[in-house]
């Protein structure tokens, strides 16, 4: 069955969100300084700390994905999740880099629950481990990678790169059981998935940190940047799971062709 006009409209909106995420531009507009200039002003050692903090935060989010995302909930509550993220950003921004590293796992977990709400709304069955891991992969679609193939969309290139890692991690969880996999997240299949996501999420976290750590911004800056961060990944989640919903209804090839033409 061909895509309807409503389907094509939704796909065009999803493409705009996935191919032109604009997180860095939004942050730059909020703080009045290009993100690249902010990143260069990060304190010595901050990048290494942020890299380690990002991986730790994703590991915590993985535990949540495996243990609790199958619990039924209502539809997306964007403003509720955004409000919690704003409050945590304000606390983290007031405490500098140490506060940000403490705040990041909490913020990513709140964002993951917001992502899961969008997944449910688009028909994903979160009793399936693979669907829960797909929620985690949304963090990989928020920024571009130099490894992307220029001939392919950034979004589909990222999906191809992540697909095998998601499949292997889901197989590992199926073999070990959710409790066993959640307790032993050092398995190569799980580590590879987290590493691939962290590679892409790291750039977005650096942008967030650079703006949030500006001395003149403090708590207010942390709140504003977290609001942008949350809004960005909520929009990305809607777009990703809209594409997957359309693929289930019309087939992957038909949706990809329409996506290219959007």
The fraction of the chain above a pLDDT of 90, given in percent, is 33
What's the length of the chain?
262
Distance CA(13)–CA(262), nearest Å, equals 9
Residue carrying structure tokens 């920024």: 143
What pLDDT band is residue 40 in, cutting at 50, 70 and 90? confident
Q: By the 8 A CB rule, do 112 and 237 touch?
A: no
pLDDT for residue 219 is more than 70: no
Angle between helices 5-19 and 218-250 (to 10 degrees): 140
Q: For the whole model, what pTM was predicted?
A: 0.84
Burial of 44 (0-12, 13-18, 19+ CB in 10 A): exposed
CA 261 to chain centre: 25
Range of the domain at 208: 5-261
DSSP 149: -
The fraction of the chain above a pLDDT of 70, given in percent, is 75
Tens of pLDDT, residues 154-196:
899 899 989 999 999 999 988 888 877 777 767 888 889 999 9
Distance CA(135)–CA(141), nearest Å, equals 11
Neighbouring C-beta atoms of residue 164, cutoff 10 Å: 13
pLDDT score, position 249: 95
pLDDT for residue 145 is more than 70: no
Dihedral sign computed on CA atoms, order 75, 128, 12, 158: positive
- Average the pLDDT over 73-98 and give the result: 55
Q: Count each helix (H run) and each strand (E run) in the chain, helices first.
A: 12, 0
Number of domains in the chain: 1
Tens of pLDDT, residues 194-215:
999 998 888 888 877 777 766 5
What pLDDT band is residue 66 in, cutting at 50, 70 and 90? confident
Please state whether 2 falls in left (phi above 0), alpha (psi between -120 and 50) or beta: beta
What pLDDT band is residue 146 in, cutting at 50, 70 and 90? very low
Distance CA(74)–CA(146), nearest Å, equals 37
Distance CA(124)–CA(129), nearest Å, equals 11
């Amino acid at each position: 069955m061909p895509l309807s006009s409503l389907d094509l409209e939704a796909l065009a909106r999803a493409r705009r969100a996935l191919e032109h995420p604009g997180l860095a531009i939004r942050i730059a507009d909020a703080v009045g300084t290009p993100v690249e200039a902010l990143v260069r002003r990060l304190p010595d050692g901050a990048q290494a700390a942020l890299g380690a903090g990002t991986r730790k935060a994703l590991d915590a989010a993985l535990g949540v994905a495996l243990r609790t995302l199958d619990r039924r909930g209502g539809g997306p509550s964007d403003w509720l999740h955004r409000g919690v993220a704003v409050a945590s950003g304000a606390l983290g921004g007031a405490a500098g880099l140490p506060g940000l590293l403490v705040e990041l796992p909490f913020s990513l977990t709140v964002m993951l629950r917001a992502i899961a709400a969008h997944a449910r709304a688009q028909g994903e069955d979160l009793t399936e481990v693979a669907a829960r891991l797909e929620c985690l992969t949304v963090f990989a679609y928020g920024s571009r990678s130099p490894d992307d193939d220029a001939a392919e969309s950034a979004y589909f290139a990222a999906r191809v790169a992540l697909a095998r890692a998601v499949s292997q991690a889901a197989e590992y969880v199926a073999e070990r059981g959710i409790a066993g996999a959640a307790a032993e997240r050092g398995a190569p299949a799980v580590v590879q998935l987290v590493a691939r996501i962290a590679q892409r999420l790291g750039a977005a976290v650096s942008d967030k940190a650079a703006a949030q750590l500006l001395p003149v911004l403090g708590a207010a800056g942390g709140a504003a940047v977290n609001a942008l961060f949350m809004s960005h990944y909520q929009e990305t989640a809607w777009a990703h799971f809209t594409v997957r919903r359309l693929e289930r209804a019309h087939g992957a090839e038909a949706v990809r062709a329409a996506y290219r033409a959007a």
